[in-house]
Amino acid sequence: MRIPLAAPEVTDADIEEVVRVLRSGRLSLGPRLAAFEGACAAYLGVEDAVAVNSGTSGLHLCLLALGIGEGDEVVTPSFSFAASATCLLQVGAVPVFTDIDPDTLCLDPERIEEAITPRTRAILVVHVFGRPAPMAAIGRIAARHGLRVIEDACEAFGATTGGRRVGTIGDAGVFAFYPNKQITTAEGGLIVARDPAIAARVRRLRNQGRDPSAGWFDHVELGYSYRLSELHCALGLSQLQRIEGILERRESIAREYDRQLSRVPGLVLPAHAAPEDRPSWLTYVLRLGDAFSREDRDNVLAEMGSRGIECGRYFAPIHLQPLFRGRPRNGDLRLPVSERVADRALALPFFHGITAAQVEEVCDNLASLVAARAARRGR
């Protein structure tokens, strides 16, 4: 594709930091890991942070550390990447999917309470596309019912709501640093927890169940090989130094898309954030209006691709995936907002290095294709 959907920004300084680790001979569980965890904790305003090899691993470990297990119900959105639900299956828990707010695309608080039963143990919140979920309202619901709150902030590193970083508000939060994220470690994730005991257990679980005070061959519980290498941490440390500039650049790209596409009939642009929120733009996802169909969206996506412009469809609702059909609390579940949004959503190319000319080309092509689809169907 001439214009990719996403592309990591890796500078000469990033490369030099990784090469320095290679030359050191210390490739795992070394000083870069401690430095990266400390730098992330400082940026997020928390006491401790635990680096792991992916956001998915982080979600898995949070559930284990919080004691979520067999038969426990966890309320979570279906409009999300599958890992926010497959992590529940990994511990034997039951995902209870609820619908989203049509503007924020995050969990709708009004739908959460309807899904709670005596078996509900937690709410797994997803900050979709870097947009802060309504944490104050969700926190009140959790407090009323004695539920844990886990934040999937894998798409939202750097976002804030009410002056606090998302991912640091619930009982535990998870971030991810895949190459399409705001900063990348190539592969990697990060866990923060309100209770130091939870953070300590996560640190033990990520390293084969070893207690840091015990020997290398002493395992105190069942653990996993979820460590993050020194190479990944060195890259993350280098990228973290320019996080604010990255967030500002991504914000400016989103605003330029807004400016150019606001005059295109038939498009629903991302809603403006609440005054107390600062999104951390992962990607720019708009959708075709309700007068269009999934077929229209798919046609536009394919035509953009044929012109060398890579777009994506975000997300396929999890409750409709083959893995989840027929599972407890799913059955014939219908989530009209999630399904309607998913049928019409279109992610546009979005990355630090996209140029003004490329944004204009994306917008011009999208506008012409939407107009052609509307004309063809007599809209």
Active-site hit among 32, 148, 181, 373:
181
* Burial 75-105, CB ≥16 within 10 A → b, else e: bbbbbbbebbbbbbeebebbbbbbbbbeebb
Give the H/E segment covering residue 251. helix 243-261
Cβ pair 194, 49 in contact under 8 A? no
- Strand residue runs (E) in 30-141: 50-52, 73-77, 94-98, 120-126
How large is the angle between the packed helices 55-65 and 83-90, nearest 10 degrees?
40
**How far apart (Å, rounded) are the C-alpha atoms in residues 8 and 159?**
19
What is each CA distance from 132 to 121, 166, 329, in whole angstroms?
A: 22, 7, 26
Identify any residues that bridge with 95 across adjacent strands, giving them in sequence order: 74
Burial profile 190-218: b = 16 or more Cβ within 10 angstroms, e = fewer: bbbbeeeebbbbbbbbbbbbbeeeeeeee
Number of Cα atoms under 13 Å in the Cβ half of residue 291: 13
**Nearest alpha-carbon partner for 127 in 150, 147, 151, 149:** 151
Closest of 12, 3, 29, 10 to residue 203, by C-alpha = 29
For strands 164-165 and 160-161, give the pairing.
antiparallel
Active site residue 181: yes
Tell me: cis bond preceding 315? Omega within 30 of 0 counts.
yes
Residues with catalytic roles? 181
